[in-house]
Chain A
Amino acid sequence: MAAERTPRFVTEEPAQVDRWFDRITLAAGVVVLVLLTLVGLFLLLRSRDALSVTGVWEFLTRAEWRTDVKPARIGVLGLVMGTVLVAFTAVAIAVPFGVLAALFITEYSSTRSRRYLTALVDLLAAVPSVLFGIWGFRFLSAQIEPLSRWISRHFSWIPIFATGKHPRFSGSIFIAGIVVSLMALPIVASVVREVFAQTPPGEKEAAFALGATRWGMIRLVVLPFGRGGIIGGAMLGLGRALGETIAVALILPQVAQVVFHILENGGATVSGFIANRAGSDDFTTSGLMAAGLVLFFLTLGTNMVASVVVSHSRSGAGVEL
């Protein structure tokens, strides 16, 4: 009997409205991808001059920037190292504070103040970074120097906190990282709060009914549920920290060397370096384009990983990375 039956697939011509909606959304999606590709292509083409002189491998592994010698010796290793160090310092500070702020808003604040606090955090995320930059440069960095000194005195046995004989604590990667963390913090807090707020109320009730304190409930239910959101928020913050320009351009001396001692004056980041040197001769510009290309892939990769993690975190089952 069953063998004689043939399955019939039911299809229907989409309505006119749906067909147009299809096309418009498709076009919008394509435009975004095209723009992204064009930016990449532009950077690639404009960086050809510099890369053909130095070679791609040398460009990636060299930590100096000399255009006065022939052939020019330019490379981004120091810049990339500086970028990563600043970004990780920023994220290491922004994530714990962001998670705690999100926990306070979703779990501890009253229903009424929750609305205002949420709006406030989102507002902070919208503050132009130049404002954080100028404030960090003119005011905050002088306040941080004593902290840098204290850390270097007590923790110099940790390699990155070591310093030279007569260190200058101004204009350090540590200070730049703290200022950038101020910009990353609202983003982290905002993303993490969003995920925490979606914790299933039934599971929270279950924990309370078992005699949990609020903190016990958070540890058992909210944090495991929000783990993917925390990872995603951290990576979005990292994405912002990697690309942050104006604050680091103001604070760091922007020399293209590898700097490990984050408490000491020195260091550069890709974006800060580009901002400082923009408008030089054609060859330098081409070199900056190549540096920009490296940053482009760095942030693109980070943001892609972040969006995947965030989109998978809604299930509550957590995300394995």
Chain B
Amino acid sequence: MTDTLVRTPSPSAPIASTPPTLTGGPPVGAATVEARDACAWFGERLVLEGVNLVMARGEVTALIGPSGCGKSTFLRMLNRMHELVPGAALDGQIFLDGEDIYGRGMRAQQVRLRVGMVFQKPNPFPAMSIRENVLSGLKLARIKCDDTEALVEQSLNRASLWKEVRDRLGSPGGALSGGQQQRLCIARSLAVQPNVLLMDEPCSALDPTSTRRIEDTIAELRRQVTVVIVTHNMQQAHRVSDRCAFFLAAENEPGIVVEQGPTETIFTDPTDSRTRDYVQGRFG
């Protein structure tokens, strides 16, 4: 307790002299996610068709495209959150470091532990303290940690929130501002040390300053975690991502990936005219 209070942290570098180790958590390091011919339905309606996409280890992949083209649905297929929606169905395969996450003997809980998620609307557990919020994933998955205080500090640091909350780790998570709550959610996801972090429009409910800090966080997470981010903000996609995938759905048609590639190419020299129109802000 007192030990953590007297330390003088810098916001970026991990402070703890020996990083905390988890037992019973996901394997260490970033993982590659690969979608092969992924399709999704809600009831009878096909909303996403034939997506082939590789989200490489330690890279940031941005999913862009207008509303209702299946980006969020695709994202939620990557950690098996899609199946929680009543009537949701899917086809195709999603591989996490070569393992089919929808394969036999794979449990959704295992997958979600390895593939963390941050939602559009910040959703910390409001009655829990900031510390309890960060550690909630460990509690749920019965993961042991040799130094929880260091883990709390490390996770909050990686989410660029430590400096603002280090003096009030015991106060409720619901009392933070919107931007802080979102970073608390990022810290909560990072505490279980996932291989992949999915972000579903994480900044759309936030002010520009908070948005900036979350983008900084993404930049620092690069290489340690594979990040897949859905965003409507073209500049943001340009700033944070290594690769981009452009989703589009024609009227009454399922969403497809029109074009994918390195972010620079997508923004400066796309092959498809629809991609060019979209990234230049002509529609969507």
A113 within 8 A of B: no
B113-141 contact mask (Cβ, 8 Å, vs A): 1 or 0 = 10011010101111100000000110111
Number of residue pairs A-B, CB distance < 8 angstroms: 72
> Judging by beta carbons under 8 Å apart, are A211 and B127 in contact?
no
> Judging by beta carbons under 8 Å apart, are B123 and A211 in contact?
no
B192 within 8 A of A: yes
What are the residues of chain A within 8 A of B123 when measuring CB–CB? 200, 202-203, 205-206
- Number of A residues contacting the other chain (C-beta, 8 Å)? 22
> Judging by beta carbons under 8 Å apart, are A220 and B140 in contact?
yes
A105-123 contact mask (Cβ, 8 Å, vs B): 1 or 0 = 0000001000000000000
> Judging by beta carbons under 8 Å apart, are B112 and A210 in contact?
yes
Q: How far is the CB of A232 from chain B (nearest CB, A)?
A: 17
What are the residues of chain A within 8 A of B109 when measuring CB–CB? 211-213
Q: If the complex has contacts A210-B137, A220-B140, A224-B127, are A317 and B174 also in contact, measured as CB distance less than 8 A?
A: yes
Q: How far is the CB of B143 from chain A (nearest CB, A)?
A: 9
> Judging by beta carbons under 8 Å apart, are A216 and B140 in contact?
yes
CA distance A244 to B112 in the complex (A): 50
- Interface size class, chain B: 20 to 34
A189-224 contact mask (Cβ, 8 Å, vs B): 1 or 0 = 000000000001011011111111100110011001
> Judging by beta carbons under 8 Å apart, are A211 and B137 in contact?
yes
B98 within 8 A of A: no
Chain B stretch 169-221: residues in CB contact (< 8 A) with chain A = 172, 174, 185, 188-189, 192
> Judging by beta carbons under 8 Å apart, are A220 and B139 in contact?
yes
CA distance A3 to B44 in the complex (A): 67
Chain B stretch 52-109: residues in CB contact (< 8 A) with chain A = 79, 81, 84, 86, 109
- B174 nearest in chain A by CB position: A317
Cβ contact of B127, chosen from A205, A207, A210, A317, cutoff 8 A: A317
- Listed A/B pairs (14) with beta-carbon separation below 8 Å: A200-B123, A202-B119, A203-B126, A206-B123, A206-B185, A209-B112, A209-B119, A210-B116, A211-B110, A211-B113, A211-B137, A212-B141, A216-B140, A221-B125
Across chains A and B, which 9 residue pairs bring their CB atoms closest together, nearest first? Answer: A211-B113, A202-B123, A209-B117, A210-B137, A211-B112, A206-B123, A212-B140, A211-B109, A216-B140
